[in-house]
Amino acid sequence: MLTAKEALRLLHRGEVSSRELTQEVLKQIERTEPAVHAFLTVVAEQALAEAEQADKHLAQARRDGDEIPPLLGLPVAVKDVLITKGIRTTAGSRILENFVPPFDATSVRRVKEAGAVIVGKTNTDEFAMGSSTENSAFGVTHNPWDLERVPGGSSGGSAAAVAARMVPVALGTDTGGSVRQPAAFCGVTGLKTTYGRISRYGLIAYGSSLDTVGVLSQDAADAALFLNIMAGRDPLDATSVDAPIPPAELRARDDLRGLKIGVPREYFGGGIQPEVESAVRAALEVFADMGAEITEISLPHTEYAVPVYYLIAPAEASANLARFDGIRYGPRVPADSMWDVFRRTRGRLFGAEVKRRIMLGTYALSAGYYDAYYGKAQKVRTLIKRDFETAFEKVDLIAAPVAPSTAFRIGEHTNDPLAMYLEDVFTLPANLAGVPGVSFPVGFDRLGLPIGMQLMGAHFQEHLILEVVHTYQQATDWHRHQPDPLGDDEE
Q: Which residues are catalytic?
A: 79, 154, 178
| Cα 280 to Cα 476: distance, rounded to the nearest angstrom | 14
Task: Give backbone dihedrals phi and psi of 264, rounded to 5 degrees, phi first.
Answer: -70, 125
In sequence order, what DSSP letters do the residues of 46-83 get, joined into one string? HHHHHHHHHHHHHHHHHHHTPPPPTTTT-EEEEETTB-
A 10 A CB-CB count for 151 gives 35
| Cα 301 to Cα 315: distance, rounded to the nearest angstrom | 21
Closest CA to 137 of 94, 100, 172, 96: 94
Task: Give backbone dihedrals phi and psi of 201, rounded to 5 degrees, phi first.
Answer: -60, 125
| Rama region for 315: left / alpha / beta (φ>0; ψ in -120 to 50; rest) | alpha
Closest CA to 263 of 225, 232, 304, 295: 295
- The sign one gets for the Cα dihedral 454, 459, 463, 468 is negative
| Cα 304 to Cα 113: distance, rounded to the nearest angstrom | 42
Q: Are strands 212-217 and 169-174 parallel, antiparallel or unpaired?
A: antiparallel
Q: What is the DSSP letter of 327?
A: S
3-state helix, strand, coil in the chain (%, to 5): 45, 15, 45
Strands (E), 7-103: 39-42, 75-79
What SS3 class is residue 434? coil
Closest CA to 221 of 469, 480, 454: 469
Closest CA to 420 of 132, 126, 175, 127: 132
> How many residues does the structure list for the chain?
491
In sequence order, what DSSP letters do the residues of 211-261 get, joined into one string? -EEEEEESSHHHHHHHHHHHBS--TT-TT----PPPPS-----S--TT-EE
Q: What is the DSSP letter of 322?
A: G
The answer to whether the peptide bond before residue 18 is cis (omega within 30 degrees of 0) is no
